[in-house]
C-alpha cells in the first residue's frame, strides 16, 4: 500500500459530524440577511494579487506574509483571497453596482492566510462578509451592529463585547500619523523589529501590535480620538446614540485601529474572552476610500466579517445543543426479494410526508445487524419489511426509543402513524 496523502496544514476537512452545525448556522445567516434586506453576492476565490496589494495595503501582515500567491500558466500573479471585501468592491465596480445606487450585500466562503495554525486560527477559514455601499451616515454603521447583535441573540451566544472606535477622516489621520510617528521616534528603543520597520511606513499599525513588551508604550501613545474634527466627532456620536437607542452596550477602545489599511471613521470588533487568544469573532468598519482606490467613483462603504469557525466555537460553548438525530425512521428490509418493494415504500412515504427523514437500510445484512444500524442512526422508529409483510401488504413497526409493543399495520396506514408519532418532532 502506498503512503496516504494528508491535507495541507491548517486546511481542515469539515466532517459529517460537524456539518449539521454548519448548515444550521448558515441557514440562520441566510434568513437574517433576508430579514434586513441584504442580497447575496458570490465571488471568485482567486483574484489578481494586485487587487489585494492595492486594497488591503502593501505594509500589512496579510500582504507581507500571509497570502497564498502564485503565477498561473500565463505568468499572471494570482492569490487565494485572504479576505472578501477587496473582491466584493472589485466586482461591484466592474459590474456597475455602485453607480448612483445603494447596495446591501453579503457573502460567505473560504478565505486563505498562511498563518501559524492554532485553535481559532487556520490557513483555510470561513467568513461571512456583509458590505453596504452608498450610505454615508452613521445610521447604516449602526444597522450593521444591530444585525450582528441579533445574530448573536438568535444563535444563543452571550459574552461578546462590542468595542468601537473612530479613525476619523484621512486628513485627520494624516495629522495624527505625524504626531504618532514623532512619538515612536522618541521611543525607538522600545519598538520591536516589526515596529521599527513600520514606524515610518505605517505608524498606526504599531498600535495593533500584540507584543506584550510594547503594550505600555502603546497605552501611552497619543490617541486618535483627540485628533478628530467636528464632522468625525458628530458621526461617531450619532453612531453611539443609535446603539444606545436599542440598548446595545459598547466600549470605546481608542487603540482599535484594525489590521487593514482601508478603514476610516467607524471601526468595531466583537470580542470575547471565551476563545482564548483568538477572541475576535467579528470585525469591521467604514472604508469610504476603497472604491476610489480600486478605480471606481468615490462611494461610501461600510462592512464587517465574521470568522465562522470562531463563531461555531462560541455556539458550542454557549449552547448545550443535544446531538440531533440524523433520521426519524429506518426501513429494515429482510430478504433479497423485498428490496424493490422496500425502496418503493420509502419513496411513497417521502412523497406523502415531505418532512420525514427516512433511511432505507441498503446493503442488506441480517435482521439483527440491520436493527443495530437502525438503533445507531438515532431513528425513533424502525419499519420492518420481510416476506410475510410483503405478502400481506403490511409493515411491522418497532419503536426504538419507547416502551411500546411492536405492531403490524397496513402499508397504507404507515404514513398516518409516522405523522402522528414523529411528525411534530421534525
Ligand atoms: P486576528 O487579529 O485574529 O488575526 P484579523 O484582524 O486578521 O484577526 P480580519 O481580517 O478582520 O481578522 O477578519 C475578520 C475575522 O475573521 C476575524 O475577526 C476572525 O474572526 C476571522 N479570522 C481572521 N483570520 C482567521 C484565521 N486565520 N482563522 C480563523 N479565523 C480567522
Ligand atoms: Mg490576522
Q: What is the 3-state secondary structure (H, E, C) of 318-376?
A: HCCCCCCCCCCEEEEECCHHHHHHHHHHHHHHHHHCCCCCEEECCCCCCHHHHHHHHHH
CB atoms within 10 A of CB 48: 13
Query: In the chain, which residues have pLDDT < 70?
Result: 259-261, 321-323, 423-426
Measured from the alpha carbon of residue 83, the closest ligand is: 1
Contact 128, 26 (CB under 8 A): no
CB atoms within 10 A of CB 281: 24
Q: What is the DSSP letter of 123?
A: S
**Best residue among 280, 282, 284 to mutate for probing ligand 1, ranked by most atoms within 8 Å of CB:** 280
Measured from the alpha carbon of residue 313, the closest ligand is: 1
Measured from the alpha carbon of residue 310, the closest ligand is: 1
Q: How far is CA 236 from CA 174, 249, 285, 291, 353, in A?
A: 19, 15, 12, 22, 54
Q: Which of 136, 110, 161, 133 is nearest to 280 (CA)?
A: 161
What the block records as the C-alpha cell of 234 is 458628530
Measured from the alpha carbon of residue 277, the closest ligand is: 1
Number of H helices, E strands in the chain: 15, 16
Dist. CA 346–CA 77, nearest whole Å = 53
CB atoms within 10 A of CB 200: 11
Q: What is the DSSP letter of 118?
A: B
User: Which residue bears the cell 501582515?
Assistant: 61
What the block records as the C-alpha cell of 300 is 461610501
CB atoms within 10 A of CB 124: 17
Residue with CA nearest ligand 1 atom 7: 259
CB atoms within 10 A of CB 316: 11
Ligand 1 atom nearest to 122, measured from its CA:
28
Dist. CA 166–CA 243, nearest whole Å = 15
pLDDT value for 321: 64
By three-state DSSP, how is residue 48 classified? strand
Neighbour-count burial for 343-365, b at 16+ CB within 10 Å, e otherwise: eebbeebeeebeebbbbbbeeee
Residue with CA nearest ligand 1 atom 17: 307
CB atoms within 10 A of CB 265: 26
pLDDT value for 423: 62
Please list every protein residue whose CB sits less than 6 Å from any atom of ligand 1.
83, 113, 115, 120-122, 125, 127, 259, 278, 280-281, 283, 305, 307, 309-310
Q: Is 295 left (phi over 0), alpha (psi -120 to 50) or beta?
A: left
Residue with CA nearest ligand 1 atom 20: 307
**Best residue among 116, 127, 194, 285 to mutate for probing ligand 1, ranked by most atoms within 8 Å of CB:** 127
pLDDT value for 11: 98
Q: Which of 392, 397, 394 is nearest to 332 (CA)?
A: 397
Q: What is the DSSP letter of 220?
A: T
What the block records as the C-alpha cell of 317 is 460553548
Q: Is 16 exposed, middle or buried (0-12, 13-18, 19+ CB in 10 A)?
A: exposed
DSSP run (H or E) holding 409: strand 407-410
pLDDT per residue as tens digits for the range 67-76: 999 999 999 9
pLDDT value for 198: 86
Residue 313, φ and ψ in degrees, nearest 5: -65, -40
| 147 Cα: distance to centroid of ligand 2 (angstroms) | 23
Ligand 1 atom nearest to 311, measured from its CA:
20
pLDDT value for 426: 43
Amino acid at each position: 500500500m502506498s503512503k496516504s496523502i494528508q491535507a495541507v496544514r491548517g486546511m481542515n476537512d469539515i466532517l459529517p459530524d460537524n456539518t449539521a452545525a454548519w448548515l444550521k448556522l448558515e441557514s440562520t445567516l441566510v434568513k437574517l440577511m433576508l430579514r434586513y434586506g441584504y442580497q447575496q453576492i458570490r465571488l471568485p476565490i482567486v483574484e489578481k494579487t494586485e487587487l489585494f496589494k492595492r486594497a488591503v495595503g502593501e505594509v500589512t501582515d496579510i500582504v507581507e506574509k500571509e497570502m497564498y500567491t502564485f503565477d498561473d500558466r500565463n505568468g499572471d500573479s494570482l492569490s487565494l483571497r485572504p479576505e472578501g471585501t477587496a473582491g466584493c468592491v472589485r466586482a461591484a465596480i466592474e459590474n456597475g453596482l455602485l453607480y448612483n445606487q445603494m447596495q446591501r450585500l453579503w457573502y460567505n466562503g473560504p478565505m486563505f492566510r498562511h498563518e501559524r495554525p492554532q485553535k481559532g486560527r487556520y490557513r483555510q477559514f470561513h467568513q461571512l462578509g456583509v458590505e453596504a455601499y452608498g450610505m454615508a451616515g452613521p445610521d447604516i454603521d449602526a444597522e450593521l451592529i444591530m444585525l450582528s447583535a441579533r445574530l448573536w441573540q438568535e444563535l444563543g451566544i452571550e459574552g461578546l463585547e462590542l468595542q468601537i472606535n473612530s479613525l476619523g477622516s484621512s486628513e485627520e489621520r494624516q495629522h495624527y500619523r505625524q504626531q504618532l510617528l514623532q512619538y515612536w521616534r522618541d521611543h525607538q528603543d522600545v519598538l520591536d523589529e516589526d515596529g521599527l520597520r513600520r514606524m515610518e511606513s505605517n505608524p498606526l499599525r504599531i498600535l495593533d501590535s500584540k507584543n506584550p513588551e510594547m503594550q505600555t508604550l502603546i497605552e501611552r501613545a497619543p490617541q486618535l480620538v483627540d485628533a478628530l474634527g467636528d464632522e468625525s466627532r458628530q458621526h461617531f456620536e450619532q453612531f453611539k446614540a443609535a446603539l444606545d437607542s436599542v440598548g446595545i452596550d459598547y466600549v470605546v477602545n481608542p487603540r482599535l485601529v484594525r489590521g487593514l489599511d482601508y478603514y476610516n471613521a467607524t471601526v468595531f470588533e466583537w470580542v470575547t474572552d471565551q476563545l482564548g487568544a483568538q477572541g475576535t469573532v467579528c470585525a469591521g468598519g467604514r472604508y469610504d476610500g476603497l472604491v476610489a482606490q480600486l478605480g471606481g467613483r468615490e462611494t461610501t462603504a461600510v462592512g464587517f466579517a465574521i470568522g465562522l469557525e470562531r463563531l461555531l466555537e462560541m455556539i458550542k460553548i454557549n449552547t448545550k445543543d443535544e446531538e440531533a438525530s440524523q433520521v426519524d425512521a429506518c426501513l429494515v428490509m429482510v430478504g433479497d426479494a423485498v428490496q424493490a418493494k422496500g425502496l418503493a415504500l420509502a419513496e411513497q412515504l417521502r412523497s406523502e410526508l415531505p418532512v420525514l427523514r427516512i433511511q432505507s437500510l441498503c446493503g442488506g445484512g441480517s435482521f439483527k445487524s440491520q436493527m443495530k444500524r437502525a438503533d445507531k442512526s438515532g431513528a425513533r422508529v424502525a419499519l420492518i419489511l420481510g416476506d410475510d409483510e410483503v405478502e400481506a401488504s403490511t409493515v411491522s413497526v418497532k419503536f426504538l426509543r419507547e416502551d411500546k409493543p411492536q405492531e403490524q399495520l397496513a402499508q397504507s396506514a404507515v404514513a398516518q402513524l409516522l405523522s402522528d408519532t414523529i411528525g411534530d418532532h421534525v
